[in-house]
Amino acid sequence: MSGGPPATVAHPVSHTVTRRARAPLRCLFDEIVAEDVLPKVLHRYGIIPAVVATEGLTGPWHTPGSQRLVRTADHRTLREQVTAWEQSRHFAYQVDGFTGVMARLVDRAVGEWTFSGRDSRSTFTWTYTFSATSAATTPFVWLFVRTMWSGYMRRCADRCVELAEAN
């Protein structure tokens, strides 16, 4: 996805959330991975801006390799690319194109969702992993993830459950 060479050494910092929903598995999956879901669930949290739109989809959203631009409320964009899609089981994507301070701290990020369920109950686990630009920036990324990103993910996960349970 990126125009430059990939980072030679990964310095991952991850956070994971798990939620249960009173919704069928297919419904939960479809709500969370819908092409238009980001502005519905990724609202401002502290210094993290809301996602306001996605655009420029290069192929069907359910097809690995498809990319789009994610627009944030602070007028920045990120690139997002589907890396895995297995209906009602697994969804993964990579994000890059960070700007500002984040560009100095993070090369890319990977989001990975796994789903399971039975009858009208289902569960998802969402792991988001930032690749710090270097060992020196890893502590700053770790601090950001622990103080801001973890709360952002918790709120997003709660909104995802609300969407699925409302349908």
Angle between helices 25-33 and 150-166 (to 10 degrees): 130
Q: Does the predicted model carry a pTM greater than 0.85?
A: yes
Chain segment 91-135, per-residue pLDDT in tens: 999 999 999 999 999 999 999 999 999 889 999 999 999 999 999
Fold of the domain spanning 14-42+86-166: Alpha-D-Glucose-1,6-Bisphosphate; Chain A, domain 4 (3.30.530)
Q: What is the pLDDT of residue 1?
A: 43
Alpha helices (H) in 106-147, listed in sequence order: 138-144
Q: Where exactly are the structural domains of the chain?
A: 14-42+86-166
pLDDT at 70 over 80: yes
70 touches 77 (CB < 8 A): yes
